Amino acid sequence: MNLDNSPKVLIVSDATWADDNNIGNTFSNLFKDWPKNKIGMIYTRSDMYNTSVCDTFFQISESRLIKRFFSSDIKTGKKIDSIDLENSDTKKKLKEDEEAGKKLYRFFLKHRWNIFLTGRELLWKIGDWKTKELDEFIDEFNPDIVLSLACPGMYMNRLQQYIIKRSKAKSIIYFVDDVYSNKRFNLSPIFWFNRQITRKGIRKTVSMCDLVYTIIDKQKKEYDSFFDVNSKILNKGGDFSESLNFKNDDSKPIKLIYTGNITSGRWETLVKIGEALDKINGRYTKATLSIYTKNQLHGKIDKAFQEIKSIEFKGSIKANQVKEVQNRGDILVHVESMKLKEKMETRLSFSTKLVDYFERGKCILAIGWAESASISYLKENNAGYIIDDVKKIEKNLNELIIRPELIKKLGENAWFCGFKHHQIVDIRHNIQNDLMNLLYPDK
């Protein structure tokens, strides 16, 4: 695939492009071979980017938006590239902004998140983010395509709409989560007030776009109906070019490995697995669960993990170590919360780490709501061992552990699911064709 004539793509996102977060990892997966001079990003976090795929960024910091009220010398938006990071003073200031932003998020996550969302909207409504620096960055980069990550915030939709208008580029919106439907459980009137305003903003952004991407078929069907569009599915890919060589490791104990976030109630499901393993293991260890996550343990989460003998909490690892760690496992674990609020939040989400699991050719243990998109996808493709009732975890997990032939077969099924649906070469080729067709529809 020749990418020399690829369009210039400007990604607009609330999340930072970092290979150790979900969306950053997905962007790197999709655009790894894209010419560096033809890809850039505008994002609204204080965090520093961390990727080798793109090195042209414009950062709008919320902490600087606040400081701007007290000093007109503060620039709310900054262009950042690899050359800037070689300057120690610039790097120090960016690190200070990053820490200030993290403190702000930690405070509101701990206290009143819904009020924070309203406060953020107000900040962006009256804050000075439409700056000459932003305009200069857009004009200088001069994108052919603006690719906006669909976000649950009116402020992001205003920013995306502004960039689309300013650039006069063709535009795409990419939905990776359910940021639009009203299928939610929340008792806060502030949440529902924010939700309805956001829905209007998202609908307007969609109306300005030439193409809509969704992440999985279940979301496509629902969102095509919402917006009267024919969206295209864009999901993460893997390398399935070599034939599967499944190695049956008869060593004991069986190693279950989880890599990913433990937020949104996932930690509680992991605890259930650990409790089940403690009972299954009895006098000798048949299986263990190792957890790798960048999330910090605190309070009841820390206490819960420490009380379980079968769980080994490994903490954070670098992005380039994840593949090696997953390859050491016999069973790779995917979990979702079984609580109503979190179930509704993740209903149309697809866990992109499942594609990594497919690539490893390992048995996938998936525990979650049967109606969630990720669980449904695994079930439809017979690509995992599904448990959708927490009361059955001990019984079902024991049945899996004592059947090495089933572990092997499900590992093969997972790999073939990836081979059939997630070939990265095909996905990148389709992206390039989609973008070229937007620019040159008659060719």
DSSP characters over 321-348: GHHHHHHT-SEEEEE---SHHHHHHTTT
Which range has the worst mean pLDDT, 87-96, 270-279, 401-410? 87-96
Give residue 373's pLDDT.
Answer: 95
Token representation of residue 210: 């030439």
Whole-number Å distance between alpha carbons of 248 and 323: 18
Token representation of residue 11: 């990604």
Buried b (16+ CB within 10 A) or exposed e, 72-99: eeebbbbbbeeeeeeeeeeeeebeebbe
Give the dihedral of Cα atoms 368, 374, 379, 383; nearest 10 deg: -110
Cβ contacts of 345 within 8 Å, gap of 6 or more: 178, 184, 264
The secondary structure of residue 151, as a DSSP letter, is -
pTM for this predicted structure: 0.92
Whole-number Å distance between alpha carbons of 289 and 312: 6
Give residue 88's pLDDT.
Answer: 65
Element (H, E) at 259: strand 254-259
Q: What is the mean pLDDT of the chain?
A: 91
**Domain check: are 176 and 263 in the same one?**
no
Whole-number Å distance between alpha carbons of 329 and 411: 11
Token representation of residue 212: 């809509």
Indicate if the pLDDT at residue 82 is higher than 90. Answer: no
**Domain check: are 56 and 29 in the same one?**
yes
Average the pLDDT over 145-165 and give the result. Answer: 96
Whole-number Å distance between alpha carbons of 238 and 216: 16
**Domain check: are 162 and 178 in the same one?**
yes
**Domain check: are 172 and 32 in the same one?**
yes
CATH number at 142 reads 3.40.50.2000
Torsion angles phi and psi, residue 246, rounded to 5: -75, 120
Structural domain total, the chain = 2
Could you identify the residue written with the tokens 């924010």? 194
Give residue 240's pLDDT.
Answer: 93
Token representation of residue 333: 């674990």
Whole-number Å distance between alpha carbons of 164 and 12: 10
Residue pLDDT, tens place only, 234-268: 999 999 988 776 665 566 899 999 999 998 889 99
Q: What is the largest CA-CA distance in the chain?
A: 70
Q: Is residue 396 part of a domain?
A: yes
Which range has the worst mean pLDDT, 68-72, 154-158, 221-225? 68-72
DSSP states of 9-59 as a string? EEEEESS--BTTSHHHHHHHHHHTTS-GGGEEEEE--SSPPB-SS--EEEE
Bigger pLDDT: 138 vs 189: 138
**Domain check: are 134 and 222 in the same one?**
yes
Give residue 157's pLDDT.
Answer: 96
Question: Domain range spanning residue 25?
Answer: 9-235+424-439
**Domain check: are 217 and 279 in the same one?**
no
SS3 172: strand
Percent of the chain whose predicted confidence (pLDDT) is above 90: 68
Q: Is residue 27 part of a domain?
A: yes
Token representation of residue 350: 């697809």
Could you identify the residue written with the tokens 């990053």? 98
**Domain check: are 287 and 229 in the same one?**
no
Could you identify the residue written with the tokens 């674990």? 333
**Domain check: are 435 and 390 in the same one?**
no
For residue 7, give the nearest of 443, 442, 434 by alpha carbon. Answer: 434
For residue 288, give the nearest of 299, 302, 274 by alpha carbon. Answer: 274
DSSP states of 234-254 as a string? ----B---SPP-------SSE
Token representation of residue 239: 């390398």
**Domain check: are 155 and 269 in the same one?**
no
Helices first, then strands: H and E counts in the chain: 17, 14
**Domain check: are 92 and 198 in the same one?**
yes
For residue 352, give the nearest of 2, 30, 53 by alpha carbon. Answer: 30
Which range has the worst mean pLDDT, 187-196, 269-278, 329-338, 411-420? 187-196
Count how many residues are written for the chain. 443
